[in-house]
Structure 1
Amino acid sequence: GELVFEPCTLAGGVAGRSVQARCTRYEVPEDPDDAGSRRIALNIAWLPPTEDGADAADPVFFLAGGPGQSALQVWPLLDPAFAEVRRQRHVVLVDQRGTGGSNLLQCERGSLDGLDPRDTEAAFAAVVGLARECAAQVADRADPRFYTTTAAVADLEAVRRAIGAEQVNLVGASYGTRVAQHYARRHPQHVRSIVLDGVAPNDLVVGGEFARTFEDALALQAGRCRELPACAERFPQDPQAQLRQLVGRLEQAPVEVEYRDPASGESLKGRVDAGTVTGLAFMFSYMPQTAALLPLVLDEAAHGRYAPLKSLSELMARGTAQQMAVGMQWSVICAEDADRQHEAAASAEGTLLGPQVARMFFAACEAWPHGTRPDDFTAPLQSGVPALLLSGEMDPVTPPRYAERVLQGLPNGRHLVLQGQGHGTLGLGCMPRLLGQFIESADAKALDASCLASMSYVPPFTSFNGWEP
């Protein structure tokens, strides 16, 4: 196509991995409907096939999650999952506008530190104030109204035309599944196949159902523990019930604790409150390997030993703090989801996180400039495109039932559920091989997925040395 690429290295962040690629920047109008509007540059990477002579005409576009994640920054973690795909296919990464190197909409969250989680009104006001400050910071270089899924779809189409590809294969992860579905609806003739991992239906209120889906994941994990003799003996109290008791106690009386800094080992002092516990439990639930630690950490805290919980909470918070561009996230959810959040509020009653979590998730919309969504935005995708849908059985944010809803509109689709797994399945077990086979054949129903039967539940740790053999 018309783009000129230069060698570059995609850094691996916390994983320490790096991938050699070719990168460029491509300018598009900030307002997709006004060619004369301010220009913004999209950050693009291209990874050629790894096998000599391979040059398939239709590349793979990977669409990152969030909303707010950078495709180029997360790629080194995902590159092994695409090993089979990359043998024959070009892969194209586009930092969605507002993320990574595409006019990043990021704001410091320092003003939220030290808030009392029991004072929900003060926390809400603090988020509104932060959004107002952030909007002022980016006003000279960005109009947040144009950083939506609809604008991102227009960008992807512009990139497709610029590289000269007639068709593309879309692989979307989490929020990226929303982008993939909308691209497939707007430009069906240019989509050869789609892969949706951690599926978000078009009518889903992003963030609105976290309290309920998290509760369901906790129940699944607790049920599996009761089925294992070693786990049931070590944790005779239901971990879910124990979590509720601990949260209730800390809501009344947060505790000061001495703990080890997870990076330096330095002895520090800090506070453990209800938000510390629910936040850690929610982050842990994304992956079975971390979810396996939760019963042990909760049991330690229930006996007054809070140091492991605090250290792990700090470790997880540092690892995720800079992964999402919060301004871009606000642009998406405020335009596409905020006015529908009442639809999901009732489902949060009686849950650990409660309705206030969704309220806080959308608090910034009171001050953040945001656009609108098309009238048909929430309509389900109806398409004959070959589609492979993937879910983790214990996913706390996009459970398998979401993918089943989307599958109803995809007659050439197939849904695979990975037993015992959480959010994000592309790199697990034999999935990289199945992913490669599907991209080549564009026939999900013909895949032999029997190799996934080896995927299993990760049993909880019974001590800090691990789980029972």
Structure 2
Amino acid sequence: MPRKYRLVLAVVALIALFGYRYWQSHSAKKPATATTATPAKEAEPVKQRHYGTLAFKPCTLSTPMAREGVTAQCTTFTVPENREQPDGRKIALNIAWVPANEGAELAPDPVFFIAGGPGQSAVKSYPQLAGAFDRILDKRDVILVDQRGTGESNPLKCGGKDENGDPTEAETLADVEKATRDCVAELSKVADLTRYDTTTAVADLDAVRKAMGIEKINLMGVSYGTRVAQQYAMRYPNSTRTIVLDSVVPNTTILGNIWARNLEDALDQQFALCTRNADCVKAVGNPRDSLNTVMATLRKGPVPVTYRDPTTGIVKTDTLKAEEVANLVRMFAYMPAMAALIPQQLHEAAQGRYDSLKAMTDMLKSGLEDQMMMGMQMSVICTEDGDSVVSNEDDKDTVLGTTLTDAMSAMCKIWPKGKMPADFHNALATDVPALILEGELDPVTPPKYGEETLKTLKNGRLFVLRGQGHNVIGVGCMPKLFAKFIDTADAKQLDGKCLDNLSYTPPFTSYNGWTP
């Protein structure tokens, strides 16, 4: 039986490639219930605040994944969808300004936060990372711009759902191609899909900078956001004061050809935390062997599972599929605190008890729902990487295999493509001060990517955080180092000894946790 090519699988894989830390917050406050930027409650009309030529109104930024809303100022800024046709369709870019702390001696160069994805909203994702910016706000404003096609900036979302409300499955590549054509037809009614790439978005950022009357900006990008930051520094060096690249994707990297092998390498490191521990091996065996057993079974066909829904507690009967486990392993791999749960779950599944594993895949689906704008994601990847996405025969026996690469290649043959500058994939070579961060166990942007990027950054510095995964700006003392770097614009003088205190998360060996 062929593996299913699920349209949603491609999206989830890209979330893992460029996403942020789901389910984790660095605040200890109560959960927020809002899901987007909402106007602040006001008893009487509130005066607009101006930043350059832009007029802002009070708002609160919040998301279910963050613990509390962030007080901010919000506005929109209109740009032409196609700058070659300035009188054509316009896009209202959604912008939030998080003002520096009251009484701050304000520096003139704010920090622009750039979200991952591609397809993530900077405005919606910031609250989850807000704790990492606490010290930044002592001296600087933080600016959030929803990249065109994401958030509230003409979001490009499509995709059908079945009778249960789940994303529609595609059994074959022909189904993938049909779904892609349907998506293109749907979104082309509201957007020119060739105008939602990174290069165009970078021009938007600079237009916002000018409208706000800012001479130089500090760019902080996470994952795919590091590509945007590098491209901005490349195109507008005189307007770039510093860049912070958290979980960096080198300009030279082709997306789509890296997923399977990077995950395998990270799993080897993460599973070794168990295989080097006699108590862990005694309790759950070799996680790699368990994973191979589970995947071999599921690739023969889905297995029926009776399990308790993790959200409602209701007992359900469904099937568990190979691609669901592959997604789960990948997503959890970029957060070692979550990956610690995997060895025990794989051990049970390898013995035919799939209920806990199925419940975890359901939790993953609910946590990822509506986090990415697929249309924008496809416009970026197909314009910048699609022609170079090819399957590697050596990846066929990996957890992810070549299904994602095959599907992405098929989709990009259909998706409209924009114009990519000839030097787009050149390494960023600049004197701009740069701070590069990598997690030691990152399954999507491993430390070697940071090393490669650093080679052409004369004023750059790389920190590899022990035992960490993807998106590490909020880990340990990193927020302190982040703020120090923005203050001094000198990464080389940072004292990173405080990072030596970071440790590994031991794998769970039972439902009570890990062995002491």
User: Which TM-score band (shorter chain)?
Assistant: over 0.9
State yes or no: 1:468 paired with 2:505. no
Query: What displacement does 1:16 show?
Result: 4.4
State yes or no: 1:223 paired with 2:272. yes
Output the amino acid matched with 2:225.
G
> Which of 71, 87, 90 is equivalent to 2:141?
90
> Which of 461, 464, 469 is equivalent to 1:414?
461
After superposing on structure 2, the runs of 4+ consecutive aligned residues of structure 1 that deviate more than 6 Å are none
Distance in 1, Cα, partners of 2:174 & 2:116: 27
Query: What displacement does 1:252 show?
Result: 1.3
Farther off after superposition, 218-227 or 434-443: 218-227
Distance in 2, Cα, partners of 1:229 & 1:83: 42
Deviations for 1:73-128, whole angstroms, at most 9, x for unmatched residues? 10110101111111111100000000000000011342684647xx5xx1x22332
Distance in 1, Cα, partners of 2:282 & 2:193: 53
> Which of 190, 194, 202 is equivalent to 1:145?
194
Correspondence for 1:311: 359
Distance in 2, Cα, partners of 1:245 & 1:152: 44
SS in structure 2 at match of 1:13: coil
Larger helix proportion, structure 1 or 2?
1
State yes or no: 1:358 paired with 2:405. yes
The aligned length equals 462
Distance in 2, Cα, partners of 1:166 & 1:400: 33
Question: Is the 8 Å Cα contact of residues 467 and 505 (structure 2) preserved in structure 1?
Answer: yes
Q: How does 1:26-65 map to 2 (within 5 A)?
A: 26-65=77-116
5+ residue gaps in structure 2?
1-51
Correspondence for 1:267: 315
5+ residue gaps in structure 1?
none
Distance in 1, Cα, partners of 2:168 & 2:281: 37
Question: Is the 8 Å Cα contact of residues 387 and 412 (structure 2) preserved in structure 1?
Answer: no
Farther off after superposition, 128-137 or 26-35: 128-137
Correspondence for 1:178: 227
Correspondence for 1:449: 496
State yes or no: 1:287 paired with 2:330. no
> Which of 367, 382, 385 is equivalent to 1:337?
385
Q: CA RMSD in A?
A: 1.5
Farther off after superposition, 289-298 or 201-210: 201-210
Taking a change above 3 Å as real, the CA distance of residues 399 and 34 of structure 1, as seen in their structure-2 partners, is: same
Query: What displacement does 1:347 show?
Result: 5.6
Correspondence for 2:244: 195
SS in structure 2 at match of 1:233: helix
Query: What displacement does 1:53 show?
Result: 3.3
Output the amino acid matched with 2:277.
L
Q: Output the TM-score relative to the length of structure 2.
A: 0.87
Distance in 2, Cα, partners of 1:256 & 1:350: 24
Correspondence for 2:39: none
Question: Is the 8 Å Cα contact of residues 223 and 247 (structure 2) preserved in structure 1?
Answer: yes
Correspondence for 1:129: 178
Q: Percent identity?
A: 48
Query: What displacement does 1:11 show?
Result: 1.5
Question: Is the 8 Å Cα contact of residues 206 and 333 (structure 1) preserved in structure 2?
Answer: yes
Distance in 2, Cα, partners of 1:6 & 1:114: 39
SS in structure 2 at match of 1:193: strand
State yes or no: 1:74 paired with 2:122. no
Query: What displacement does 1:248 show?
Result: 0.5
Question: Is the 8 Å Cα contact of residues 209 and 345 (structure 1) preserved in structure 2?
Answer: no
Deviations for 1:13-64, whole angstroms, at most 9, x for unmatched residues? 2334311100000000101333223111100000111141321100100010
Distance in 1, Cα, partners of 2:177 & 2:76: 33
Correspondence for 2:59: 8
SS in structure 1 at match of 2:330: helix
Taking a change above 3 Å as real, the CA distance of residues 407 and 338 of structure 1, as seen in their structure-2 partners, is: same
